[in-house]
Chains A and B, each alone.
Chain A
Amino acid sequence: MSGARILIIEDDLLIVMDLQTTLEDLGHQVVGTISRGEEACETIEETLVEVALMDIRLAGSLDGIATAKLIQSRFDIPIVFLTAAADVKKESGLTECWPVVSKPFREEELQLAIEMALENHRARNC
C-alpha cells in the first residue's frame, strides 16, 4: 500500500520522535504532531489527515477517547489508538472499532494497525 498522511497525537516527545521516524521508515507521511487533544480538530482542519494516531493519555484536559469522539463528530477519518494500558478495550466503546496498539509497540504492529484502520474505514465498517 502507499503511505498514509498521519497525525500523531502523543504527549511524550521521545515517543513522538520514534513514531515519526518509524512511520517514515514504513513509508508514511507525518503531517503533524500534537500533544493535546484540544488541538486535534484545528490541526485536522488545516492539514489533510488520513489517519490519526492517538495516545490515550494526553497532556490536556481531554484524553484520547474524548478527543477521538470529538474528531469523529466532525471528521470522517480512521483512528489508531496507542496505549500502555492493556485493558483499554473494555473501557471505551470506540476502541472496539479502531485498532489499539500496545506500548511498547513494534514496527510491524504499528503498520498492521494503520492498514487495518484504513481498510475498516474504506469498507465503512466504522
Chain B
Amino acid sequence: MATQLLQDDGSLGNPSVTESLEFRVAQVRQLYAQSRAGILWALASVFVVAIGLSGEVSHVNIAIWVSVYLLIQAYRYYLGINFSKLESPDETIKWGRNFSFSTIASGVAWGSAAIIIFPANSPLYQMFLTICLAGIASAASAVYSPLTICYMPTILAILVPLSARFFYEGQQVNMFLGSVIMILAAALVSSGKQMNAVLAESLTLRYQNKDLLDSVTEQKRIAENLNKNLLTEIEERKRTEDNIKKSLEEKESLLKEIHHRVKNNLQVICSLLRLQRRHVTSQESRTVFKETENRVRSMAMLHEALYKSENLNRISAKEYVHDLANYLFQTYNAADQGINLHIEVEDLSFGIDIAIPCGLIINELITNALKHAFPRGRKGEIRIFLHCPADNECELVVADDGAGLPKDIHISHKESLGLGIVQALAKQLQGQMELNVLNGSEFRIRFKCTAHRGNEVTA
C-alpha cells in the first residue's frame, strides 16, 4: 500500500505515506531495534545515580526511587521480550504505543529524581545529578527518535522537573542552571525531531528501493516468461517444420509409388501387345503392334524420367529427347542402316502436360522418317531441335534429308495414323504445325508455354 503511494508521490512527509500502517509499523520496528540496548544502559545509569547520591540523600528515598524505576524497567523488558511474538501490524502499533508510555513513565521516573532524591544541600551533587539527567535525556533523544510520541515527552519528563526544581530553589546560580536545562531540553527535542525526520526519510527510501526491486523482479519474471514462451514457440515451429518435412517425404514417396505403378501397368500393356503380336501372322499387323508398343514405351520413358527427377513433376527435355530418339534408332536398327541422329535441345525442363505430347510427336515423326524417308538402303540424317525463342513460345523441329513425303500429301492425311496423331497433339499443345518438303521433310511445331526461361517450362 505504502509503496503504491510512494510511486504516486514519493516526497518525504507526505501524510498519506507517513501515516500508512506499513510505515508506522516500520517506525515501531526501528524503535525496538534502537532501544534494546537502551534498557541495559538505563539500568546501569540508575545504579550509578543511586550510589552517587547515597551519601547525600535519604536511603529510603533512593530505595523508593530505584524500586519504582526497576518496576518500570521490568515492564519494558517484558515488552521487549514480547516483541518477537507479535503477529499483525495492529499488534505492532499497539506495542509501540505501550512501549512509548513505558518510556515516558521511565522519563517521569528520571524526572522525579529532581524531587525525591534531589541533593538540596550540595551544589556539587546537584551538578552530578544534572549531568546524569542531561546524559540520559540526550540518550533518550537519540534512542527514541523513531517515534515523536516517544522521544519528545520523555525528554521533557526527564528535564522539566529538574529545571523547575532549580527555579524553585530560587538562588541566582540555580535560576541560571534551570534556564540552561530548559535550553538543553529544547535543543534535544529539536535534535530528536531532526533525527526522526532522517529516519523517516531512510524508511521512505527503503520503500522506494523495495518498489524498484519489486519492479525489477517483476520485469525479470516477465522476461523469463517471454523467454519461456519463445522457447515453446520455437519448439512448436520446429515440430511443425518436421511434420511438413515428413509430409513432403511421404508425398514424394507416394508420387514415386504412383510412377512405379504407372510403369508397371505400362509394362503389362506392352506385354499384352507383345503377346498379341506373336499371334498375328501378317507383317503389317505386327508392325502396327510394334508401333503401338513404342508409343506406350515413350510414355513409360517419361515416367521413368519423372521418377528420376528431383521434384518428381518436371523432366529434363534434353535427356528425355536423347533417350527417346536413341531408343527408336535402336528399335529400327537405324544406325546400322547408315542413318545419323542429330539432336539440339535447349537446357529446359518440362511438366508432364507438355512432355507427353512432345514425346509422342517425336516418337511418331522419327518412326515415320525411319519407315519412309530412307527407302532401299538410302543413307541420311534425322535432326531434332527443341528450343524456346520467346518467353511463352517453344519450337520443336523434326526433320530428315531423306526421300521426302509425297508431293500431294496433306498434313491432315487420313491414311497416316502417325501424322494424324502428330496433328492432334500439336493442337493439344495449342501449337501451329508447318510442313516443309523442300529437302526431305521438315515438321516445325510452335507451341505455347509459359515461364520457360532457365530450366522451368510449364504448360
Interface positions of A (Cβ within 8 A of B): 12, 14-15, 17-19, 21-22, 25, 84-87, 102-106, 108
B261 and A84 contacting across the interface, CB-CB below 8 Å: yes
Is A86 a contact of B300 with CB atoms below 8 Å? no
Task: Determine which of A87, A104, A108 lies in contact with B308 in the assembled complex, contact meaning CB atoms within 8 Å.
Answer: A87
Would you give the shortest CB distance from B410 to chain A, in whole angstroms? 34
Tell me the chain B residues, 323-338 only, with Cβ under 8 Å from chain A. 327, 330-331
B313 within 8 A of A: no
| Known contacts A84-B261, A84-B263, A104-B270, A17 near B275 by CB under 8 Å | yes
Write 19 A-B pairs (CB below 8 A) sorted by A numbering.
Answer: A14-B268, A15-B268, A17-B271, A17-B275, A18-B272, A18-B274, A25-B278, A84-B264, A84-B267, A85-B256, A85-B260, A87-B307, A103-B263, A103-B266, A104-B267, A104-B270, A105-B267, A105-B270, A106-B331
B24 at the interface (CB under 8 A from A): no
B307 with A86: CB separation less than 8 A:
yes
Shortest C-beta distance, B217 to chain A (Å), equals: 60
Q: Does B401 belong to the interface (CB within 8 Å)?
A: no
Residues in chain A near residue B275, CB distance under 8 A: 14, 17-18, 21
Instruction: Report Cα–Cα, A24/B271, bound state, in Å.
Output: 14
Can you name 5 extra interface pairs (CB under 8 A) apart from A86-B263, A106-B297, A106-B331?
A: A18-B270, A86-B307, A86-B308, A103-B263, A104-B296
Contacts of B268 in A (CB 8 A): 12, 14-15
When distances are taken between beta carbons in the complex, the residues of chain A under 8 Å from B266 are 103-104
User: Which chain B residues lie closer than 8 Å to A22 at the CB level?
Assistant: 274
Q: Are A21 and B297 in contact (CB under 8 A)?
A: no
- Structural contact, B307 and A85, CB atoms closer than 8 A: yes
Which residues of chain A are near B263, meaning CB under 8 Å? 84, 86, 102-104
Q: Does B393 contact A (CB under 8 A)?
A: no
* B291 at interface, CB cutoff 8 A: no
Cβ of B211 within 8 Å of any chain A Cβ, yes or no, is no
Closest-CB distance, B100 to chain A (whole angstroms): 94
Once bound together, how far apart are the Cα atoms of A112 and B278, in whole Å? 21
Interface size on B, residues (CB 8 A): 25
Name the distance in Å between B343's Cβ and chain A's nearest Cβ.
20
On chain A, the residues within 8 Å of B256 by CB distance are 85
Of the residues A86, A87, A103, A108, contact of B330 by C-beta under 8 Å: A108
Selected contact of B271 from candidates A18, A25, A84, A108, CB within 8 Å:
A18
Whether, in the assembled complex, B304 has its beta carbon less than 8 Å from a beta carbon of chain A, the answer is: yes
Tell me the B238-282 residues at the A interface (CB within 8 Å): 256, 259-261, 263-264, 266-272, 274-275, 278
Given the complex of chains A and B, what is the CA–CA distance between A87 and B308 in angstroms? 7
- Chain B residue with Cβ nearest A108: B330
Interface residues of B (CB under 8 A from A): 256, 259-261, 263-264, 266-272, 274-275, 278, 296-297, 300, 304, 307-308, 327, 330-331
Q: How far is the CB of B269 from chain A (nearest CB, A)?
A: 8
Alpha-carbon separation in the docked complex, A25 to B275 (Å) = 12
How far apart are the CA atoms of A22 and B293 in the complex, in Å?
14
A-side contacts of B269, CB under 8 Å: 104
Determine whether the beta carbon of B307 is less than 8 Å from that of A21.
no
Q: Is the CB of B300 within 8 A of A104?
A: yes
Given contacts A85-B307, A86-B307, A87-B308, contact A103 B267 (CB under 8 A): yes
- Contact A104 B297, CB 8 Å, known A15-B268, A18-B275, A84-B261: yes
Chain A residues with CB under 8 Å of B308's CB are 86-87
Q: Which residues of A have CB within 8 Å of B264? A: 12, 84, 103
* Residues in B whose Cβ lies below 8 Å from that of A104: 263, 266-267, 269-271, 296-297, 300
Which residues of chain A are within 8 angstroms of B260 by Cβ–Cβ distance? 84-85
Residues of B with C-beta under 8 A to A21 = 274-275, 278
Give Cα A87–Cα B257 distance, bound, in whole angstroms. 12
A15 and B267 contact, CB distance less than 8 A: yes
CB-CB nearest 5 A-B residue pairs: A18-B271, A84-B263, A103-B267, A104-B270, A104-B267
| A106 to B307 CA separation, bound complex (whole angstroms) | 19
How many Å lie between the Cα of A85 and that of B307 in the bound state? 8
Nearest CB in chain A: distance from B316 CB, A: 14
Q: Min CB distance, A125 to chain B, in Å?
A: 26
Q: Which residues of the other chain, B, contact A86 by a CB distance below 8 angstroms?
A: 259, 263, 304, 307-308
Residue from B267, B296, B327 with most neighbouring chain A CB atoms (10 Å): B267
A86 CA / B259 CA spacing, docked (Å): 9
**A14 cross-chain contacts in B, Cβ below 8 A:** 268, 271-272, 275
Distance in Å: Cβ of B267 to nearest Cβ of chain A: 4
A84 surroundings in chain B (CB, below 8 A):
260-261, 263-264, 267
Chain B residues lying within 8 Å of A18, measured Cβ to Cβ, are: 270-272, 274-275
Contacts of A85 in B (CB 8 A): 256, 260, 307
* CB-CB nearest in chain A for B306: A86
> Which of chain A's residues has its CB closest to B330's CB?
A108
Residues of chain A lying within 8 A (CB to CB) of residue B304: 86, 102
Give, as a whole number of angstroms, the nearest-CB distance from A12 to chain B. 6
Greatest chain A CB density within 10 A among B263, B271, B327 is at: B271
